[in-house]
Amino acid sequence: MKKILAVDDSPSMRQMVAYTLKRAGFEVYEAEDGVEALEMARELDVDLVLTDINMPKMDGIELIRSLRGLPAYNGKPILTLTTEGSMESKMKGRDAGATGWIVKPFDPETLVATINKVL
């Protein structure tokens, strides 16, 4: 089973993502900020990271940058969750090394389809 790490500071968003992905047959781990995510990512060696951008402690951008610095995550898919169609945050994510983005609010199918696209 493919492992996905879902990072978001909003518990409801995290729950939604986790619920959707679990139903789609993924093994889902949750982290509430970049710091926690980085720690979990190191330990778990997940197949994909899905992260929010705006978070306390360590934001998504920094998380992506840190992950890309780890050999295990060089080339692994990392997707950002951006709330609006804001080009700026999409680009920031990509410049940091994100594979791509998913626009919130997403419907469950789009989320799963997008993730299947890169896994």
Partner 1 sequence: MSMDMSEFLEVFFEECSEGLDVMETGLLNLGNGEVDVEEINTIFRAAHSIKGGSATFDMVEIAGFTHVMETLLDQMRSHEREVTTAAVDLLLESVDCLREMIDAARDEEPIDEKRVDDLKKRLEVMLENKEEGADAASEPEAETPATESAEGPKKGWVIDFYPQPDILKTGNEPYRLFDELRQLGELNVVCNLNKIPDFKNFDPEQNYLGWRLQLITTVNEQRVREVFSWIEGDCDISITPLSDEASARESKADAAPTAEAQAAPTPQAEANAETSEPAPKAETPAPQAAAAEKPAPAAPAAEAEKPAAKKPAKAKKKPSGESGSIRVSIEKIDSLINLVGELIITQSMLSQFTDEFDMSQIESLRDGLSQLTRNSRELQETAMQIRMLPISSSFNRFPRLVRDMSSKLGKKVDLVISGEGTELDKTVLEKIADPLVHLVRNSLDHGLEMPEKRRELGKPETGTIELKAYHEGGNIVIEVVDDGAGINKERVFQKAVENGIIAPDEKLTDEEINNLIFEPGFSTAEVVSDISGRGVGMDVVRRNINELGGQIYIISEEGKGSTISIRLPLTLAIIDGQLVKVGTETYVIPMLSIDESLQINPKLIKKYKGKIDLYKLRDEYIPVLRLHKIFGLQTDVTNFEDGLLVVVEAERKRVGLFVDELQGQQQVVIKSLEKNFRKVDALSGATILGDGTVALIMDVASLIRQHLLSQGKITNTSLEAA
Q: What string marks each residue from 21 to 60 as x (binds partner 1 by CB under 8 A) or -? A: --x------------------------------xxx----
Judge contact between 21 and 28, C-beta under 8 A: yes
The residue (of 42 and 74) whose beta carbon lies closer to partner 1 is 74
Task: Give me the sign of the Cα torsion angle 42, 43, 47, 49.
Answer: negative
Judge contact between 67 and 46, C-beta under 8 A: no
- Beta-bridge partner residues of 3: 27
d(CA 92, CA 72): 22
Helix (H) or strand (E) holding 103: strand 100-103
Residues 59-98, interacting with partner 1 (CB under 8 A)? 68, 74-78, 83-88, 91, 94, 97-98
Q: How far is the CB of 41 from partner 1 (least distance, A)?
A: 14
Q: What are phi and psi of 87, to 5 degrees?
A: -60, -40
Q: How far is the CB of 77 from partner 1 (least distance, A)?
A: 4
The residue (of 42 and 75) whose beta carbon lies closer to partner 1 is 75
Q: How far is the CB of 27 from partner 1 (least distance, A)?
A: 18
- Which stretches of the chain bind partner 1, using CB under 8 A? 9-13, 15-16, 19-20, 23, 54-56, 68, 74-78, 83-88, 91, 94, 97-101, 103-110, 112-114, 117-118
